Amino acid sequence: MNTQQSNSIARVYSSDRSSWVGDGFPTNSMLPMAEMGNATSPFLIMGYTAQYPFAPAAHQRGVGMHPHRGFETVTIVYDGELEHADSKGNAGTIGKNEVQWMTAGQGIMHAEHHSKAFAKSGGSLDMVQLWVNLPSHAKMTGPRYQELTEANIPEVQLNAGLLRVIAGTYPHDAETIHGPAQTFSPMHVWDVRLQSGSQNQFELNPEWSNLVFILEGEIQVDGQSYHALQTLYLQDDASSINIHASSDAKLLILSGQPLNEPIVAHGPFVMNTAQEIQQAFHDFQNGHFA
């Protein structure tokens, strides 16, 4: 973790490693599990597969059935194509510029792979997966999926740039643009693409957790330069951030109301107490997940 003196930025995390999730997802840890806590609540961890080239393959690379409980996974595909399947019989495809918002809730078994078409053709896989915590009252809610297509994610034209509102809202001119994702606590998830030389100001809630993930390119904030694979943790009282794009840039801006609840995590389970984690393992081992 790097400390950065800035009017807007409290600290900077630089991803210096990439690890494989299964055989299909080389993942840069942008919000690592070691940092998990209320400082970034309700956001838990975030991994980025950065335009990784895959050769054509006879099998679908990915991750087989694995459990989740107590949180949500948000998968944003910028390029490539994935397939998912779960223990309830749900299955689907996530393509370019699409989002899958999966609520694990009380428990689900889930598998993710490259799609058959992508595996056959090969190509660049560019995606993020974000874990979003559930408030205690919703930890044991029923599992669900939200499939957000490119067509139903609203776009806002910026100053030489584009912002897609995946969740929450974004004020634009005289109206408020609403994202399609339904969430269990208040948050904004903005997919931002900026052209080189552009400058834009983003209004934030100073009482929320605010994060900027730099996925591609280079930006300047308060005269300081930041580059791809860095996470900017904004000051606790930040009410806005002014971003100048030194090159074409792709950002993910997250803003959320902290849950201010205990976080106890072990592998694929995120609960509020150690006893709830033990119960999750018991339920999983005894086949009680959906």
* 29-56 pLDDT tens trace: 999 888 888 889 999 999 999 999 999 9
Round to whole Å and give the CA distance between 9 and 262.
26
pLDDT digits (tens, 9 = 90+) for 253-279: 999 999 999 999 999 999 999 999 999
The confidence score (pLDDT) of residue 6 equals 60
Quickly state the pLDDT bin for 241 (edges 50, 70, 90).
Answer: very high
- Residue % of the chain over a pLDDT of 90: 89
| Side-chain half-sphere CA neighbours of 97 within 13 A | 12
Distance CA 287, CA 98 (A): 32
**Enclosing H/E stretch for 162:** strand 161-167
In the block, tokens 């009410």 appear at: 239
Instruction: Tell me the one-letter amino acid at 63.
Output: V
Whether 5 shows a pLDDT value over 70: the answer reads: no
Q: For residue range 125-184, list pLDDT tens digits in order.
A: 999 999 999 999 999 999 999 999 999 999 999 999 999 999 999 998 889 999 999 999
The pLDDT of residue 4 is 44
